Structure 1
Amino acid sequence: MALLEFKLPKNLTKALKITTYSPKRQQVRVLKKLLKKARFTEFGQKYRFDELLLAKNPTKKFQEYVPTYNYNKIYAEWWHKTLEGKPDICWPGVIKYFALSSGTSEAASKYIPITKDIIRANKTTMVRHFLTLTGYQDIPVKSIGKGWLMLGGTTDLQKGPTYYAGDLSGISATKVPFWFQPFYKPGKSISKTKDWNLKLDKIVEEAPNWDIGFVVGVPAWIQMVMEKIIERHHLKTIHDVWPNLAFFVHGGVAFEPYKKGFERLLAKPLTYIETYLASEGFIAYQDKQNGKGMKLVTGNNIFFEFVPFDDQNFDSEGNMVEGARVLLLSEVEEDKDYAILLSTNAGTWRYLIGDTVRFVDKQRAEIIITGRTKHFLSLVGEHLSVDNMNKAVQLVAGELNLSIPEFTVAGEPHGTFFAHHWYVACDEHVDKELLRNRIDQTLKDLNDDYAVERDSALKNVYLDVLPEEKFLAFLRHKGKIGGQHKFPRVLKGKMHQDWREFLKTGA
């Protein structure tokens, strides 16, 4: 039976009704719903949620009463209590699940609360997104009704005193709706496998037994598993085993660097669809073919605020300063970078998730991800963003006909001045000096501040070309394999030290 033939449960069908309200009005309704549900929690009592609900302008009062938080602050003041099993702290009840998230630059794991309410909300958004796929001209309806492979973390979660913890993808896989289970691959048995390499081996062996219509995951890991399947079963392309494979749902990193490598594994083009699913919530998804960006989920369970990502609101290390300017959705402008604050039904309140976005269509609340607050380089005022880096690599790779699936950049001293050090993954023959010069020049063309500083205090650019496997080996070495783990585009602090040591010793 095809997936689209299933009748959705009544409560989910009701939740899926697409509201006709404007994004601004949706956001007010979402905030009121969150405040009402959490008003008897410790957090709700401290910040007088009952009073906020009676205010003429609850959104502005919410901003006046409730402080902003980063992870360290909200954990120290509130979330540590939820890990101890105490109920009704930031959200009603006991928190039974936590998503382990270390981002891509920090060593210690963060415990992000995952409530029943947010799991339910993520499912609703997932199905809303799924239903938009029928409007994509390049996706055959039969492929939507086939199996889907989600390459995520293990569903065999870590057991704490009163909770379970693991990758969000692993937690989500344990909660797959019954009406999706016949189509979900690799299935419950393989998904429980903790050893990432063993899990991949099982997937590779079982691949010919599945009829896969679409794949979901981080590009690097999806590409690797497809390469292994082709090699193991002596195929020319992945379509030799999955002829109905039509689209790839990805997120977390820019896809363009991987596209050339992907296309070498295919007999026919795939449609690439971007989503924005973070540990803190399902934030946005691409809802139409050839859309400029992803549409924010403004009418479900997330109240959004935005902080202009500039020198007035963030320090040189990417930390939000005291008294930073915070805007509502209705106050943002197109083509400017913003850091996101989220309030959700997981007890996340005015929480800085660390990502930066840019609005490409304000009326539709459509965004692109431009980087992270701590993943940028501005040693001397060059203000080099991940978006700049991605574009430069994409343009130069196309110009030189290269596949560059991974790269990372670090700032280094250069005498009394500074330099950037690029590490680029490429398994083809490449003129390293030509690549260095072309990336440097392209960045000058893209970023005026960078161009100015390259003639001043940013004295040099170094570049090393490494096999792609070296990047994956480092992630394995750090215990960051599979699931939602990505290689950081900017290396700072301990991660930079560990990378340099790894390149020297391989361990």
Structure 2
Amino acid sequence: MPLFDIQLPNSVAKALRLPTNDLRWQQLRVLKKLLRKARFTEFGQHFKFDEILMSKHPGKKFQDMVPIYNYNRIYTEWWHKTLEGKPDICWPGKIKYYALSSGTSESSSKYIPITSDLLKGNRYVMIKQLLSLRNYHDIPIRSIGKGWLMIGGSTALQKGAGYYSGDLSGITAKKAPFWFQPFYKPGKKIAKEKDWEKKLEEIVEHAPHWDIGFVVGVPAWIQMCMEKIIERYQLNTIHDIWPDLDFFVHGGVSFEPYKKGFEKLLGKPITYIETYLASEGFIAYQDRQHATGMRLVTNEHIFHEFVPFDYKNFDDNGDLVANPETLMIHEVEEGKDYALLISTSAGTWRYLIGDTIKFTDKERCEIVITGRTKHFLSLVGEHLSVDNMNKAIQIVSNEMNVCIPEYTVVGKPHGTFFAHHWYVASDDAINAETLRVKIDEKLKEINDDYAVERNSALQQVFLDVLPEERFMEFMRLKGKIGGQHKFPRVLKGRMLEDWNKFLKGELI
């Protein structure tokens, strides 16, 4: 009998808390579990978690009594105390680990608390995702027992006053269970390396000695690694050295812009598995083959709320208005953009994570990431989302048969009106004017508001094509290489200032 046709015993299914169909019940159960665990913390006492638990409608009571937090607010009011070593602030005990997360637009690092309860919940979700491979057809089972190359942050964490901090990928690798160690590559020694270039060189050096079945990481950095291996050993494809490579587990950004360039490095088709693993928790994962979305984790360690991403709830800067509309899982609709609020087993309460999502299949609870609350363009009401941009790039690159792995867009004044300026990464021969016209036309088809404004206040669209290495060089200069770092699709604020300096040769 094939491995993935085996039915799980009830005891195993119960222990893994595999989901049932009642999403509202699942989420209320998770909320009550979180509230019970944290009711004696300072946060739980302040916001009367016991009273919420005794309510007939704990979900609604929770929303009424606990405010919405962004990072700055929750850090200023609560989390700063945990960094000072105080226990029982937002979650029982002392916080010993923090994931450093600067996102793609912030200049200073954010300290996101990581607890053993959160890591335990993340591990449960990882196991569920692995078990979900039984839903895939004709998968090469032999590859599952091969090496897993996970390219992330350094496991050599920074030591603070009673805590350690670093990339979540580094913390996760450092805390990986013993049974996973034989499969884990590049191994503990290389994983500790903080210098991304040195780490990459070590991986390339050891590549012939590994039999890799899975690669896991952000598409841009995995692609760079594979290109270096192919170049070093003068290979035709990565399968010349890793014939059993059959899976790529990716997340954090849309894979579509990278797919054409990525597949040039392959000798055979592989299975792509999308995940949504943020510093704050394991939020969703693809659990069936060829799915357009990822299954939202509803039955484990995260309570979700959803704020409609519109001008009733967000201002022009992407900041929440006072008293926004917030929905629970049973109240959402398919096809609408929502900003995600999460409460987790690390003392993250009603936290605006900054991502926007859309339900593609409410019954299956499947979502896609559509962008960031701060990463959209609406200078004059064009309401252009990252999802719109990704779709336009994907369609146009296919039409022109070119690879566009990176891009970013800037909104700026143009005379008395406004313009968008695209910067596109490609090493292919591209007519920039043709590309500009095609992207503009495609966005008019995708987004009605954009089409209207292109005939009004959005007077012009500019586009420059740059080598892919220029994008990577900028990320290196900003100290945002490897791990979970992604190039921002929309540039604003300090990142935009630095980008303009970089293009002039002034950023060193």
The TM-score normalised by the length of structure 2 is 0.97
- The yes-or-no answer on 1:457 pairing with 2:457 is yes
Deviation at 1:134, TM superposition (A): 2.9
Aligned to 2:487, what secondary structure does the other structure show? coil
Q: How does 1:373-392 map onto structure 2 within 5 Å?
A: 373-392=373-392
Matched-pair contact (CA < 8 Å) for 1:294–1:368: yes
Equivalent residue number for residue 401 of structure 2: 401
Per the TM alignment, residue 144 of structure 1 is displaced from its structure 2 partner at its CA by 1.3
Counterpart in the other structure of 2:126: 126
| Residue of structure 2 equivalent to 1:88 | 88
Map of 1:350 onto structure 2: 350
Task: Encode CA deviations 1:309-334: one digit per residue, 9 max, x unaligned.
Answer: 00000000000100100000000000
Q: Deviations over 1:350-409 (max 9, x none)?
A: 000000000011111110000000000000000000000000000000000000000000
Q: Residue 348 of structure 1: SS of its match in structure 2? A: coil
Secondary structure at 1:319 match in 2: coil
Tell me the distance in 2 between the aligned counterparts of 1:417 and 1:123: 51
* Greater mean alpha carbon deviation, residues 319-328 or residues 15-24: 15-24
Mapped contact 1:261–1:403 kept (Cα < 8 A): yes
Preserved contact between residue 17 and residue 299 of structure 2 (Cα < 8 Å): no
Structure 2 counterpart of 1:335, one-letter code: G
Distance 1:230 1:373 in 2: 38
Letter in 1 for 2:452: V
Aligned to 1:427: 427
Residue type matched to 1:264 in 2? K
Alignment of 1:100-499 (within 5 A): 100-499=100-499
Question: Deviation per CA, 1:248-277, whole angstroms, max 9, x where unpaired?
Answer: 000000000000101110110111111000
Cα distance between partner residues in 2 of 1:312 and 1:85: 40
The unaligned stretches of length 5 or more in structure 1 are none
Does 12-21 or 41-50 show the bigger shift?
12-21
Structure 2 stretches lacking a partner, 5+ long:
none
Is the 2:143–2:214 contact (alpha carbons within 8 Å) kept by the matching residues of 1? yes
Letter in 2 for 1:168: L
Could you tell me whether the CA contact under 8 Å between 1:117 and 1:346 is conserved in 2?
Answer: yes
In structure 2, distance between residues paired with 1:69 and 1:195: 34
Task: Give the superposition deviation at 1:137.
Answer: 1.4
Give the letter aligned to residue 491 of structure 1: L
Moved more, 84-93 or 130-139: 130-139
Matches within 5 A, 1:52-67: 52-67=52-67
Displacement after TM superposition at 1:41 (Å)? 0.1
Distance in 1, Cα, partners of 2:186 & 2:453: 50
Aligned AA for 2:43?
F
Partner-residue secondary structure (3-state), 2:324: coil
1:194 is aligned with what amino acid?
A: K
Q: Which amino acid aligns with 2:108?
A: A
Q: Do the aligned partners of 1:139 and 1:247 also contact (CA within 8 Å) in 2?
A: no
Alignment partner, residue 30 of structure 2 = 30
**1:100 is matched by which residue type in structure 2?**
L
**Matches of 2:466 and 2:338, distance apart in 1:** 33
Q: What amino acid is the match of 1:405?
A: P
Tell me: CA distance 1:397–1:120, structure 2 relative to 1, closer, same or farther (3 Å). same
Aligned to 1:71: 71
Q: Per the alignment, do residues 179 and 12 of structure 1 end up closer, same or farther by CA in structure 2, a change over 3 Å counting?
A: farther
CA contact (8 A) 2:136 2:289 kept: yes
Residue 501 of structure 1 aligns to which amino acid in structure 2?
K
CA distance in 2, matches of 1:280, 1:436: 37
**CA distance, structure 1, for counterparts of residue 322 and residue 256 of structure 2:** 36
For 1:297, the aligned partner's letter is V
Which residue identity is paired with 2:154?
Answer: T
Q: TM-score normalised to the size of structure 1?
A: 0.97
Matched positions, count: 501
| Per-residue deviation, 1:139 | 2.3
Cα pair 2:19 2:298 within 8 Å, conserved: no
Question: What are the superposed Cα offsets for residues 472-499 of structure 1, whole Å, 9 maximum, x if unpaired?
Answer: 1111100000000000000001110100
Q: Return the offset for 1:466.
A: 0.3
Deviations 1:101-134 (A, max 9, x none): 0110110111000011001110110111011113
Counterpart of 1:470, as a letter, is R
Q: Deviations over 1:455-478 (max 9, x none)?
A: 110010010100001101111100
Contact 2:147–2:210 at 8 Å: present in 1 too?
yes
How far does residue 292 in structure 1 lie from its aligned partner after superposition? 2.4
Structure 1 stretches of 4+ with a deviation exceeding 3 A read: 11-15
1:410–1:492 Cα contact (<8 Å) kept: yes
Whichever residue aligns with residue 389 of structure 2, its letter is M
Check the 8 A contact 2:217/2:249 in 1, yes or no. yes
Compare 131-140 and 423-432 and name the one that shifted more: 131-140
Conserved 8 A contact 1:138-1:271: no
Matched residue type, 2:343: S
Contact 1:474–1:499 (CA<8 Å) still a contact in 2? yes
Give the letter aligned to residue 502 of structure 1: F
Alpha-carbon offset, residue 12 of structure 1: 8.5
Q: 3-state SS of the aligned residue for 2:117?
A: helix
Q: Which amino acid aligns with 2:456?
A: S
Conserved? CA contact 2:91–2:347, under 8 Å: yes
Structure 2 distance, partners of 1:200, 1:26, is: 42
Q: Secondary structure at the match of 2:275?
A: strand
For 1:503, the equivalent position in structure 2 comes to 503
Label 1:90 to 1:285 Cα distance change in 2 as closer, same or farther (>3 A): same
The alignment partner of 2:472 has SS state of: helix
Structure 2 distance, partners of 1:178, 1:134, is: 24
Q: CA deviation at 1:20?
A: 2.8
Q: Which amino acid aligns with 1:238?
A: I
Q: Distance in 2 between matches of 1:265 and 1:129?
A: 26
1:306, 1:328 within 8 Å by CA — same for their partners in 2? Answer: yes
Contact between 2:410 and 2:420, CA under 8 Å: does it hold in 1? yes
RMSD over equivalenced CA pairs, Å:
1.5
**Quick one: distance in 1 between partners of 2:21 and 2:291?**
21
Residues 17, 300 of structure 2: 8 Å contact kept: no
Contact 1:15 1:124 in 2 (8 A): no
Distance 1:417 1:86 in 2: 52
8 Å Cα contact 2:219-2:258 kept in structure 1: yes
Matched residue SS, 2:179: coil
The residue identity in structure 1 corresponding to 2:75 is Y
